[in-house]
Structures are given as C-alpha cells and as structure tokens.
C-alpha cells in the first residue's frame, strides 16, 4: 500500500499541490517568490493547483492579492484570468453577488477588485454603471477613472428630470479626479461655469522654493558628490560653487500651472552642473507621503536629510509624476531638498534643467500639508499673481 501511495505521488504532475484542499498552500508558495526567480518552481506548482481548482480558487486568489508583493501579485493576477477564463469556457457563470461584494470591499487589493469588476461586467454588462457610481473616490485608480468619466458624461448630458446641479457635480468630480486629462477637462467645464479652479493646488505642487547652484558636475561626477546642502541647509550660507565661485540661496516662486521650477531661469544656464531646490512643508500630523517629480535631468530627493529617491538619467523625456519617492512626513516642519544635475549635451532639446514637484497620497490626491516661505504658511499649489512677485528670476 505504501508503495502504491509512493507511485501515485511520483506520477502526479504537481506532487506538491494536487488537490483543491491545497489552495492555501499554493497561495503561500506563490507569495514566497522573491528576487531573481527564487521560489519559481514551487510557485509554478501552486499556480497549476489554483488553475486546476477552478472556481473554488477564485476568491482565495483574489483575496491573496491584498498583501502580495508586486512579483507575487502578477503570479496571482494571471491565475485569476486563467480561472475566470476556464469557468467561462466551461459555461459556468461566475458568482455575481459574491463578486460584487468583493469589488465593493475597498480594503481588498485595488488591482484584484478591478479584475473582478472586469469579469463581472463581461458577464453582466448592465451592472457597470450602477457599480461605478460609488467608485468616484475609490483607491483603485482604474475604477476611479471610469467612475469620473461616467460622472462627466452624466453631468454633460443630465438625464431627464435631474436638477441642473452641474457646478456642484463638477466641483465634486474635480476634487476626486486624479488623472491629468480628466482634471483638465473638468477644470475647463468649471471655468465655463464662472469659477477658477486651481490645477496647481489640486495636484499639491510646491511653488515656493529656494535655489542654490551651480556646483561642479563635470562628466556627471557631481551627481555623487554630497555638496553642503546634503549635510545641512542654511539659507543664509555662502557656498563654494563651480569653478570656485561663491553661490548663495535665492528665493524662487513658480507661477506655472504645473509648477515648473526652471533652473535655467532661476540660476542661469549652466552645463555639467548640479543645483539644489529647497522647500519647507508643514504637516498637520505624521503621515505617509509620495513626493512626485518630473524632470529631464538626473535627480535625487531628500526628505529631512534622508535620500528617498535617485535617478541618474538625462534628457530621455519627462512627464508628470515621472519619479516617486515614498517616505513619511513628520508632524510639523519638514525639509524637502531636491538635487538636479545637468549634463553637457548640446542639442536644442537637451537644454532643459527643471523640475516639477508635488506631495500627495498614494492615489495622487492632496494631503493636509502646507508650504512655508518667507515666514508665511500657504497651501501647496498656492500661486501668487505674477504681478505681485518681486522683480527677479521667478
């Protein structure tokens, strides 16, 4: 008998996980994958178990995405597609009510909820709009985006009998929107209704800075040199800059809609140079933060003296929220320092030396955080009228 059992084990295609009862073990194996393919063999066996278990594995797999690392989450995501597709091929409907409850549970993984939503809507298209209506503030950016799009559509073409409350509806959508294209579209509608929404404030851009530079970065070497601001920021200090020239901190206020801090303007044009931008931000409480930067240049982000992000790449394009540094703001004043290096490329498109920087939560939404400059506390994104700015390099 023991021999027979051994033979059965040996001929089983997935000896580690061979039955529905092994779903928890399969999920554990997948969640254990780590760097450079470690754990792949066990994860592959686990994946096969989930796929073979069919519908029974669907919800455990969806739920497992909640605390899976990015690598494991992709193993699970493909298993969800495989399970749902095989159920559909077999002519079995997915349990709509249970799926709906899972989708509405915002504590679950945003990606898992989105996948569940897509499979539910595939089988029950009429459920789409009524479900989306509740996702305007959803942590899943994909669900939120579709909900905002639906909200815009319904506001533009109100159904018969609905009250003309476009202004309030657009204002609500504006607050909830996270994607640049949607924010701009809603802002345009609000402007037509006579209001002046601030995109700069909506996205939480830092507009008030102090700049110092240039420091030497010949052949890019300055990227790895810790110049004095990386040790301590003293806005009154005179520092030794490139070619031995003295440099000092200068205030810089941007009035650009996306808060571009143009160093060519603030510090004059320099090549093979490093510069620093400094700002003080005030948090009401300790809280996680994403510091998001766009730049054509090599950048490093420091929060309260700790480097939280670095990317040494020059003139390969830029876009909003290109780089993200994740950290925790302390209650009270926080020091934000950004190092921006410039190389010596001479093409016309390689002259930009600039950053855009904002503070937000993990969805890209605003935080109860202010910026402080010249003794004044103001909202993130606050943009003074250019006429009120002192004459200078702003």
Partner 1 sequence: MRTMLLLIASLAFAPTLSAGDWPQFRGATGLGFSEDKNLPTEWSKDKGLRWKAELPSRGLSGPVIVGDRVYVTCSSGTRDDRLHVLAFDVKTGKELWHRQLAATGSTACHPKTCMAAPTPAADANGVYALFATGDLAAFDRDGNLRWYRSLVGDYPAVSNQVGMAASLAIAKDRLIVPMDNAGDSFLAAIDTKTGKNLWKIDRPRDINWTTPILRQVGDVTEVLFMSPKGLFAYDVATGKERWTYKQGGGSIPSPTLAGGMLFLPTNGVTAVKLTDKGAVGDAAWKGTGLTTKNASPLVYDGRIYTVNESGIVTCAEADTGKVIWKERLKGVFSASPIAGDNKLYVVDEAGTTSVLRTDSEAMDILGTNAIGEEVLGTPAIADGALFIRTGKSLFCVGKK
Residue with tokens 């700069």: 200
Verify binding: residue 219, partner 1, rule CB under 8 A: no
Of 78 and 218, which CB lies nearer to partner 1 in the complex structure? 78
Of 304 and 318, which CB lies nearer to partner 1 in the complex structure? 318
Helices (H), 54-192: 58-64, 70-89, 96-104, 110-123, 127-132, 141-156, 166-176, 180-192
Verify binding: residue 179, partner 1, rule CB under 8 A: yes
The dihedrals phi and psi of 316, each to the nearest 5 degrees, come to -110, 25
Binding mask 124-163 for partner 1 (x = CB under 8 A): -----------------xx--x------------------
Picking from 373, 138, 137, the residue whose alpha carbon sits closest to that of residue 235 is: 373
Give yes or no for a contact between 339 and 276, defined as CB atoms under 8 angstroms apart: yes
CB of 78 to partner 1, least distance (A): 5
Verify binding: residue 123, partner 1, rule CB under 8 A: no
Verify binding: residue 177, partner 1, rule CB under 8 A: no
- CB-based burial label for 332 (10 Å; 0-12, 13-18, 19+): exposed
Residue 146 DSSP code? H
CB of 319 to partner 1, least distance (A): 6
Verify binding: residue 322, partner 1, rule CB under 8 A: yes
CB of 115 to partner 1, least distance (A): 8
Q: Return the residue of 23, 26, 48, 211 that touches partner 1, per CB under 8 A.
A: 48
Of 23 and 233, which CB lies nearer to partner 1 in the complex structure? 23
Binding mask 281-320 for partner 1 (x = CB under 8 A): ------------------------------xxxx-xxxx-
Residue 17 DSSP code? -
24: left (phi over 0), alpha (psi -120 to 50) or beta: alpha
Helices (H), 193-284: 199-203, 263-266
Q: Which long-range contacts (CB under 8 A, 24 or more apart) does 188-193 make?
A: 189/152, 189/155, 189/156, 193/166, 193/167
Verify binding: residue 37, partner 1, rule CB under 8 A: yes
Of 304 and 310, which CB lies nearer to partner 1 in the complex structure? 310
251 strand-pairing partners:
210
CB of 74 to partner 1, least distance (A): 5
If binding means CB under 8 A, how many residues of this protein chain bind partner 1?
A: 40
Residue with tokens 């300055």: 222
> Does the CA dihedral 141-146-147-148 come out positive or negative?
positive
Q: Return the residue of 2, 4, 10, 35 that touches partner 1, per CB under 8 A.
A: 35
- The whole-angstrom distance between residue 89's C-alpha and the CA centroid of its chain comes to 36
Site residues (CB under 8 A) for partner 1, limited to 50-79 = 51, 69-71, 73-75, 77-79
Of 234 and 312, which CB lies nearer to partner 1 in the complex structure? 312
Verify binding: residue 344, partner 1, rule CB under 8 A: no
Of 63 and 335, which CB lies nearer to partner 1 in the complex structure? 63
* Residues near 155 by beta carbon (within 8 Å), at least 6 away in sequence: 166, 169, 170, 173, 189
Site residues (vs partner 1, CB under 8 A): 33, 35-38, 40-41, 43-44, 47-48, 51, 69-71, 73-75, 77-79, 81-82, 85, 111, 115, 141-142, 145, 179, 181, 311-314, 316-319, 322
């Amino acid at each position: 008998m023991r021999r027979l059992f051994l033979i059965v084990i040996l001929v089983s295609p997935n000896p580690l996980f061979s039955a529905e009862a092994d779903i928890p073990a399969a999920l554990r194996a997948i969640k254990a994958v780590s760097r450079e393919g470690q754990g792949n063999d066990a994860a592959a066996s686990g994946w096969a178990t989930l796929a073979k278990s069919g519908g029974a594995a669907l919800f455990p797999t969806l739920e497992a995405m909640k605390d899976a690392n990015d690598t494991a989450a992709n193993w699970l995501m493909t298993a969800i597609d495989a399970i749902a597709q095989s159920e559909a091929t077999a002519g079995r409907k997915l349990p709509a009510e249970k799926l709906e409850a899972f989708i509405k549970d915002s504590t679950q993984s945003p990606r898992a909820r989105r996948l569940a939503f897509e499979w539910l809507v595939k089988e029950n298209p009429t459920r789409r709009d009524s479900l989306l209506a509740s996702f305007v503030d959803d942590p899943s950016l994909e669900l939120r985006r579709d909900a905002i799009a639906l909200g815009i559509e319904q506001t533009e073409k109100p159904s018969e009998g609905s009250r003309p409350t476009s202004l309030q509806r657009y204002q609500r959508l504006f607050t909830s929107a996270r994607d640049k294209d949607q924010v701009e579209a809603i802002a345009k509608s609000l402007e037509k209704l006579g209001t002046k929404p601030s995109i700069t404030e909506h996205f939480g851009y830092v507009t008030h800075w102090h700049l110092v530079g240039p420091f030497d970065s010949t052949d890019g070497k300055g990227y790895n040199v810790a110049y004095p601001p990386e040790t301590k920021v003293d806005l009154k200090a005179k520092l030794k800059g490139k070619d031995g020239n003295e440099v000092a901190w200068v205030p810089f206020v941007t009035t650009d809609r996306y808060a571009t801090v143009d160093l060519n303007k603030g510090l004059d044009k320099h090549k093979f140079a490093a510069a620093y931008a400094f700002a003080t931000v005030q948090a009401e409480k300790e809280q996680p933060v994403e510091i998001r930067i766009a730049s054509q240049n090599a950048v490093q982000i420091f929060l309260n003296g700790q480097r939280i992000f670095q990317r040494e790449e020059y003139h390969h394009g830029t876009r909003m929220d290109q780089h993200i540094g994740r950290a925790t703001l302390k209650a009270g004043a926080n020091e934000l320092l950004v190092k921006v290096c410039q190389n010596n490329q001479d093409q016309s498109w390689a002259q930009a030396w600039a950053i855009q920087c904002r503070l937000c939560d993990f969805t890209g939404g605003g935080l109860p955080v202010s910026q402080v400059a010249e003794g004044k506390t103001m909202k993130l994104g606050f943009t003074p009228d250019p006429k009120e700015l002192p004459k200078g390099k702003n």
